[in-house]
Structure 1
Amino acid sequence: MTATADAEAAANELTPLADYLGSVLRRLRALPPLDLDLTQAYGNVLAEDVVAPHLFPAFDQASVDGYAARWEDISGGSRGQGYVPAPSGTPGGRSIRLNVVGDLGAASWRPVRLTPGSCFSVAAGAPLPIGADVVVPVEWTDQGMAAVEIFRAPNRGYGVRRAGEELPAGTLLARAGTYVSPALVAVFAATGIGHVVVRPSPRVVVVATGDELVDVGRGSQPGQVVDTNSHALTAAAAEAGALAYRVGICDDDPEALRGLLEDQTLRADLIITTGGTGTGPGDMVRRILSRREGGRAGPVAFTEVALYPGTALGFGTVGAEEVPVVCLPGEPGAAMIGFEVLARPVIQLLAGAEPVFRPGVRAHLLETISSPVGLREFRPAHVAERRGGGYTVQPLSGGPFTLSGLAEANGLLVLGERVTTAAAGSTVDVLLLDRRR
């Protein structure tokens, strides 16, 4: 057999990534819903549809500072669209003069009524007097107090917000599965909602394993590796919307690992481990969590997945509460890609978010690249919108194992299991990453 044929034969023994993800996600359910005070709801996902109990605005009100008046009193027979000059705006013309019969602020509550030839001074947000159908901006007047001279007449309805014109009572404000944003919090508050039912943000615990690991703040030495993964994965979990906790480094000690995981089940909705997923003598996570006991399989199944980089992934549950656990490789690039393809969708599903996968686009490839046969590759890339529409994608140097490439990337170029070469000019799939820059 040729080297290519050998590679294809080996790849055929791997589990396709789509099949593996489907089998994992089907085992999970979103976390039970909670009724939260509105101030605590931001960042969570709605578990129920939310309907406006009250209309917004709740009453007719002024939207600008000015003078609430009757349009027929100030129009002076003006014609045309937009803001038109009153008669004083033309040579030899005259301004409109109205009596100011009172002041209304946002805290005013007594109903008042306009009579012909009069107006009220109003602040933005103040209730409109009965009969008012226009608010003249302050800057279009002489800002008089007992009487006001109006130099320009706005269209009828200018500066007026009618009750319920934005959101009538009974309006569907958001559907279940919607992320609660700051703007949505404002909408809920404005329509009289004080509590919403949401899926809680998953509590995610991240554990790095390995005798060789040392904490950050120093350089690596022979026999020592700085713990990159637990810091990066904790940040990635937080970016995905989780309440993320880093518990640090666990040595390759079976009892210590069992005890640590058992302790963390008390505060975790998901545990992520990194390192020890291979089949070597030092791969303690796999040896401990996949060990058969009493004729039963271990709590975590480790699967060789058709994924590049990093094929060995683990998933199962631990502890009496059967807390889900995701086991990622120890190599930093493989751990980060493993998080994207497995751990992040798990977090999204637990949170009740829809969809669970990152958005993707089809993009025009700017450079010819090769990919391992039989593996679905995720490669850091830079995606840009084309001026005439569509996207271009530039693979970043070094491939998926370079941390600098992952740091620069705003997308992950995805090459399927059957793709060995993607030519410049071809169209490829790209996952879009969150990048606040």
Structure 2
Amino acid sequence: MTATADAEAAANELTPLADYLGSVLRRLRALPPLDLDLTQAHGNVLAEDVVAPHAFPAFDQAAVDGYAARWEDISGGGRGPSYVPAPSGTPGGRTIRLNVVGDLGAASWRPVRLTPGSCFSVAAGAPLPVAADVVVPVEWTDQGMAAVEIFRTPKRGYGVRRAGEELPAGTLLARAGTYVSPALVAVFAATGIGHVVVRPSPRVVIVATGDELVDVGRGSQPGQVVDANSHALTAAAAEVGALAYRVGICDDDPEGLRGLLEDQTLRADLIITTGGTGTGPGDMVRRILSRREGGRVGPVTFTDVALYPGTALGFGTVGAEEVPVVCLPGDPGAALIGFEVLARPAIQLLAGAEPVFRPSVRAHLLETVSSPTGLREFRPAHVAERRGGGYTVQPLSGGPFTLSGLAEANGLLVLGERVTTAAAGSTVDVLLLDRRR
């Protein structure tokens, strides 16, 4: 049997990634909804449709600082205005003079009415007088106090916002599953909403395992490896909107790991471990969590998935509350890819967010790449929009295991299980990563 045939036979024994993700995500349910004060709702996902109880604007109001008037008075159609010579250079050669009978600010509340030939000085946001149908901007006038001269005539309705013009009462403001953004908070508040029903942000606990691990602030040396994973995965969980808690490092001690996980179930909606998912002599996580002892922990199923990098993934529940647990490989690159593929969709599902997967695009490949037989590869890449439409994607050097490539990437090039070579110029799938730069 050739080496290629051996590799293909081994790949055939792996679980396809799509099948594995489907089996895991079907076991998860969105967290129970909470009624939250509007100031606490940002960053959560709505659990119910939200309808406007009141109109916005709530009343007819001025949209600009100026003078609220009747359009027929300033257009020449009414009997009230008087015409005076215009300042030099004014279009039309004349101005219109109106009596200013009062001032209205945003805090004004008494109803007032315009009479022919009169106007009110108004601030933006002030309620409009009855019969007013235009606001003349301050800069189009001489800014008079007892009487004002208007040099330029706006169209009817200029500077006016009518009640319910933007959002009538009963408008569907947002559907269940919508992310509560700052702008949406403003819409809710403006229409009289003080509380909304949302899915809470999942509480995610991250644990790094391994006797070899040491905390950050030093360099790795033989027998010691700096724990990059728990810090990186805590940041990744926070980026997706979770309340992320880094527990830190747990040694390869069966009782210590069991006790730690049981303690964390009291404050976690999801636990993520990293390290120990393989079948080597030091892979304690797989050996401990794949069996139940005394009914305390387990069961967690470890599956060899057709994924590159990091084929060994674990999923199950721990503790009496059956808190979901995701077990990722110990290599930092494989752990971050595993998070993108498995843990991130799990967090999105718990949060009630839709869609659970990152957006993807089809892109023009700029460089020929090879991929392992039978594995779905996720490779760091840089994706850019093409002039004239579409995208290009440049694989980053070093392949999927390199942390520097992941740090620079704004996308993940996806090569399917049947792809062994993707030629430059071909069209490939790319997951778009969130990058604030």
Query: Normalising by the residue count of structure 1, what TM-score does the alignment of the two structures yield?
Result: 0.96
User: Does the CA-based 8 Å contact 1:88-1:95 persist in structure 2?
Assistant: no
Secondary structure, counterpart of 2:297 in structure 1: coil
Distance 2:36 2:191 in 1: 17
Distance 1:78 1:24, change over 3 A: farther
Most deviating of 75-84 and 215-224: 75-84
Distance 2:24 2:237 in 1: 18
Secondary structure, counterpart of 2:424 in structure 1: coil
What whole-Å deviation, never above 9, does each CA across 1:115-137 have from its counterpart, x for those lacking one?
01000000000000000000001
Distance 2:340 2:84 in 1: 58
Distance 2:148 2:167 in 1: 34
Most deviating of 288-297 and 115-124: 288-297
Distance 1:244 1:83, change over 3 A: farther
User: Does the CA-based 8 Å contact 2:83-2:96 persist in structure 1?
Assistant: no
Distance 1:214 1:84, change over 3 A: farther
Distance 2:94 2:160 in 1: 26
User: Does the CA-based 8 Å contact 1:377-1:415 persist in structure 2?
Assistant: yes
Distance 1:354 1:86, change over 3 A: farther
Q: Percent identity?
A: 95
- 1:121 paired residue number: 121
Distance 1:11 1:226 in 2: 32
Distance 1:91 1:203, change over 3 A: closer
Distance 1:92 1:379, change over 3 A: closer
Distance 1:132 1:378, change over 3 A: same
User: Does the CA-based 8 Å contact 1:84-1:152 persist in structure 2?
Assistant: no
Q: Does 1:154 align with 2:157?
A: no
User: Does the CA-based 8 Å contact 1:98-1:149 persist in structure 2?
Assistant: yes
1:291 Cα deviation from its structure 2 partner: 2.0
1:164 Cα deviation from its structure 2 partner: 0.1
User: Does the CA-based 8 Å contact 1:34-1:197 persist in structure 2?
Assistant: yes
For residues 248-263 of structure 1, the aligned pairs below 5 Å read 248-263=248-263
User: Does the CA-based 8 Å contact 2:84-2:95 persist in structure 1?
Assistant: no
Distance 2:84 2:280 in 1: 82
User: Does the CA-based 8 Å contact 2:55-2:168 persist in structure 1?
Assistant: yes
Distance 2:43 2:299 in 1: 32
Secondary structure, counterpart of 2:276 in structure 1: coil
Distance 2:70 2:303 in 1: 75
RMSD of aligned alpha carbons: 3.0
User: Does the CA-based 8 Å contact 1:85-1:151 persist in structure 2?
Assistant: no
Secondary structure, counterpart of 1:388 in structure 2: coil
Secondary structure, counterpart of 1:48 in structure 2: coil
Distance 1:81 1:424, change over 3 A: farther
1:281 Cα deviation from its structure 2 partner: 1.1
Most deviating of 77-86 and 156-165: 77-86
For residues 113-262 of structure 1, the aligned pairs below 5 Å read 113-262=113-262
Distance 1:75 1:402, change over 3 A: same
Gaps of 5+ in 2: none
Distance 1:50 1:23, change over 3 A: same
What whole-Å deviation, never above 9, does each CA across 1:246-303 have from its counterpart, x for those lacking one?
0110000111100100000000000000000011111111010002558999410000
Distance 1:86 1:162, change over 3 A: farther
User: Does the CA-based 8 Å contact 1:385-1:391 persist in structure 2?
Assistant: yes
1:432 Cα deviation from its structure 2 partner: 0.2
1:78 Cα deviation from its structure 2 partner: 13
Distance 1:380 1:85, change over 3 A: farther
Distance 1:176 1:164 in 2: 23
What whole-Å deviation, never above 9, does each CA across 1:377-424 have from its counterpart, x for those lacking one?
000000000111000000000010110100000000000000000000
- 2:381 paired residue number: 381
Secondary structure, counterpart of 1:153 in structure 2: coil
Distance 2:345 2:406 in 1: 19
Most deviating of 415-424 and 90-99: 90-99
User: Does the CA-based 8 Å contact 2:90-2:151 persist in structure 1?
Assistant: no
1:82 Cα deviation from its structure 2 partner: 24
Distance 2:398 2:132 in 1: 69
Distance 1:172 1:83 in 2: 48
User: Does the CA-based 8 Å contact 2:84-2:97 persist in structure 1?
Assistant: no
Distance 2:9 2:403 in 1: 31
1:3 Cα deviation from its structure 2 partner: 1.2
Distance 1:78 1:228, change over 3 A: farther
Secondary structure, counterpart of 2:236 in structure 1: helix
User: Does the CA-based 8 Å contact 2:62-2:159 persist in structure 1?
Assistant: yes
Most deviating of 124-133 and 283-292: 283-292
User: Does the CA-based 8 Å contact 2:83-2:97 persist in structure 1?
Assistant: no
Distance 1:413 1:182 in 2: 32
Distance 1:83 1:353, change over 3 A: farther
Gaps of 5+ in 1: none
Distance 1:297 1:183, change over 3 A: closer
Distance 1:80 1:16, change over 3 A: farther
User: Does the CA-based 8 Å contact 2:366-2:425 persist in structure 1?
Assistant: yes
Distance 2:3 2:285 in 1: 32
Most deviating of 358-367 and 294-303: 294-303
Secondary structure, counterpart of 1:83 in structure 2: strand
1:76 Cα deviation from its structure 2 partner: 3.3
User: Does the CA-based 8 Å contact 2:277-2:283 persist in structure 1?
Assistant: yes
Distance 1:278 1:110 in 2: 75
Distance 1:213 1:59, change over 3 A: same
Query: Normalising by the residue count of structure 2, what TM-score does the alignment of the two structures yield?
Result: 0.96
User: Does the CA-based 8 Å contact 1:88-1:151 persist in structure 2?
Assistant: no
What whole-Å deviation, never above 9, does each CA across 1:303-349 have from its counterpart, x for those lacking one?
00000000000000000000000000000000000000000000000
User: Does the CA-based 8 Å contact 1:250-1:257 persist in structure 2?
Assistant: yes
1:210 Cα deviation from its structure 2 partner: 0.3
- Runs of 4+ deviating beyond 4 Å: 77-92, 292-298
User: Does the CA-based 8 Å contact 1:65-1:138 persist in structure 2?
Assistant: yes
